[in-house]
Amino acid sequence: MKYGTSGKILRVDLTTQTTRVETFDENFYRVYPGGKALAANILLRELAPHVEPLDPENILILANGLLTGAPFSTATRFNAIARSPLTRGFGESEAGGFWGPELKMAGWEAIVLTGRAAHPVYLWIHNDQVEIRDARDLWGQEPEFVQNKIRADHNDKLIRVLQIGIAGENLVRYASLTNDLRHFNGRNGMGAVMGSKNLRAVAVRGTTRYRDFAHDPRPIEELGRALAKKVKAHPQSWDLQDKGTPGLVGALNAAGILPTRNFRQGAFEHVDKVKWEAYEKELLTARRSCYACAVRCKREVGVNDRYQVSDAYGGPEYETLDGLGPNCGIGDLQAIAKANELCNRYGLDGISTGATIAFAMECFEHNLITTHETGGIELRFGNVDAMLALVEMIAHRRGIGDLLADGTRRAAERIGGDARFFAMQVKGQELPMHDPRGKVAVGLGYAINDAGADHLTAPHDPMVANPDSISFKGAQPLGIEAIPARELSARKVRNYTILENWTSAEKVLGVCFFGPAPRSFIQVDEIVTAVRAATGWDVTLADILQIGERATTLARAFNTREGFTRADDTLPERLFQPLENGALQGVAISKPEFENAILELYEQKGWTRAGAPTRAKLRDLGIEWVADLIGA
């Protein structure tokens, strides 16, 4: 019977250079239907406790979601999951593009990578044919060269290549993965894990179709046609198609929550130089998309002026636009585009790179590091040349870049003094460019997320603050209520819990955050319809929310086993201090209220006051086997 999957996982032991096929049945897939849930199950069962993240024993799992490759907009995502070298906890990073759907069309739901090759290799998958091939001639090369070489060697321009860059080879702890040069698993250092295994790339070519796996493909295909027409009619999906994420810069600056100068400020005096209108005029060359997606939120840029910026590596998204711009005090749009290109070319997470440079700038301005450590660089906010130099130094681990390549938490520990106050991180992962002083549930997500600070743990507070908004109405079937963005209360915690389960379910299903309500145009019932059609299961919305909760609980159990405690679920002290300027000048998060909200969140989740899942909760979720692993 078809239920949305091939039922196959590819196992690759890089040490022994062997591969094997593992199959699973429908009962297993009902509990772990793909993506984060499938990968978290494997990681928790098979990775021994306290394995070092860059040791060969770490396991890297590349897992498609249940709907990845379905022919409708935003069903493109796959997860890369391992123990993170940045946080030492549960590591996860999503990406869209074309690689995940191609893996699905090759007949695989996931790849489980273990061991370490004796020399650089790449994995070649053509439907059910799998080879481990020599990559010594690819090591040290740029991603564009690697992709072109692999395609030429196999005489096929449609091969999809997932790969690391030089930063992954150099084990930068926030190195990324890239597919098709423009789509990134940026967070948590999955590129460093892949680099530690001497695996440069995973190249895939598949020739089946999603309908070959779906129980009833017709409703999914009908949904795809309907959504393609709806994109321009829905204001949020149309805004994403028109501006992409760079459109956020002006709005967040006006709201007083555009991270500026390492989160000290909420507004940037030169914002007009970097917001969408300037971006469109100075940089934009094309609007790109992911597999079968009509949203087309990807911006492509090119510059041939003071800087040379190739269009091969896409263009700055909001996170890098702000992180390498205003958060470093920089208003030079061409320089930001160049820094973004370097991050993508070298395989660096743009969020952590920008945040780490801002951290270093503040340390320099407080004399915690000097020109002696920087090699003569005046590492001050607003110094464009310094910012660009540090991107290079981090990727190649040169000079002070070797220190900064380990992330802000480790760098602060080595620098000492007040440096820890300037490290804007949670669990070792740097904050994305969203200030929770203006949307407090984002702060709950930063603190509680098992992979460290992340802005995609749940939809942001303003989306569901206005009962008359299209975003709130879209999400209302989830059972939420409209609550002001800065209110921190038990009912806000309840909203967060529901929305976190919904977003987590998206990571299991393989659906992009920019698809379903409240963020965008796909309605809640349409997701339920798609899952039913793919699987043939009579699932309800409650079932899908439980799928999401099960995935986050597995991740929390992994961290509990690795020694994480209540103390790890917190925020940088700066967020409990008032913003220095902007529309929210003087606003801070109340630390006592926040700590109470965390405890309330534990209670609503069915966790102990130490933040660990209880046996009763694990039993309710059908994963009681986890209780023995964490002593519940």
Q: What is the mean pLDDT of the chain?
A: 97
* DSSP per-residue string spanning 118-173: SS-EEEEEETTEEEEEE-TTTTTS-HHHHHHHHHHHTT-TT-EEEE--HHHHTT-T
Residue 1 has pLDDT above 60, yes or no: no
Task: Give the model confidence (pLDDT) of 215-229 as tens digits.
Answer: 999 999 999 999 999
Distance CA 566, CA 448 (A): 9
Task: Give the model confidence (pLDDT) of 262-280 as tens digits.
Answer: 999 999 999 999 999 999 9
Reading the block at residue 276, the tokens are: 């969408």
pLDDT for res 46 = 98
Asked if 412 and 420 touch (Cβ cutoff 8 Å), the reply is yes
pLDDT for res 2 = 83
Residue 622 has pLDDT above 70, yes or no: yes
Backbone angles phi, psi at 83, to 5 degrees: -70, 130
Residues 197-205 have a mean pLDDT of 98
Task: Give the model confidence (pLDDT) of 535-546 as tens digits.
Answer: 999 999 999 999
Task: Give the model confidence (pLDDT) of 105-162 as tens digits.
Answer: 999 999 999 999 999 999 999 999 999 999 999 999 999 999 999 999 999 999 999 9
Task: Give the model confidence (pLDDT) of 365-403 as tens digits.
Answer: 999 999 999 999 999 999 999 999 999 999 999 999 999
45: Cβ contacts below 8 Å, ≥ 6 apart: none
Residue for token digits 């500026």? Answer: 260
Backbone angles phi, psi at 571, to 5 degrees: -130, 160
Nearest to 509 by CA among 546, 477, 471, 557: 546
Percent of the chain whose pLDDT exceeds 90: 99
Domains of the chain: 8-212 (3.60.9.10), 235-417 (1.10.569.10), 440-630 (1.10.599.10)
pLDDT for res 78 = 98
Residue 337 has pLDDT above 70, yes or no: yes
Q: What pairing do the DSSP bridges indicate for beta strands 8-13 and 110-114?
A: parallel
Residue 249 has pLDDT above 90, yes or no: yes
pLDDT for res 605 = 97
Alpha-helical segments (H) within 428-468: 440-448
Distance CA 432, CA 93 (A): 13
Residues 55-61 have a mean pLDDT of 98
Q: Taking CA 121 as the corner, what is the angle to CA 118 and CA 127, rounded to the nearest 5 degrees?
A: 135
Task: Give the model confidence (pLDDT) of 490-531 as tens digits.
Answer: 999 999 999 999 999 999 999 999 999 999 999 999 999 999
DSSP code at position 34:
S
Distance CA 484, CA 463 (A): 10
What spatial distance separates the first Cα and last Cα of the chain, rounded to whole Å? Answer: 37
Whether the pTM exceeds 0.95: the reply is: yes
CA atoms within 13 A on the CB side of 438: 24
Reading the block at residue 552, the tokens are: 């986050």
Percent of the chain whose pLDDT exceeds 70: 100
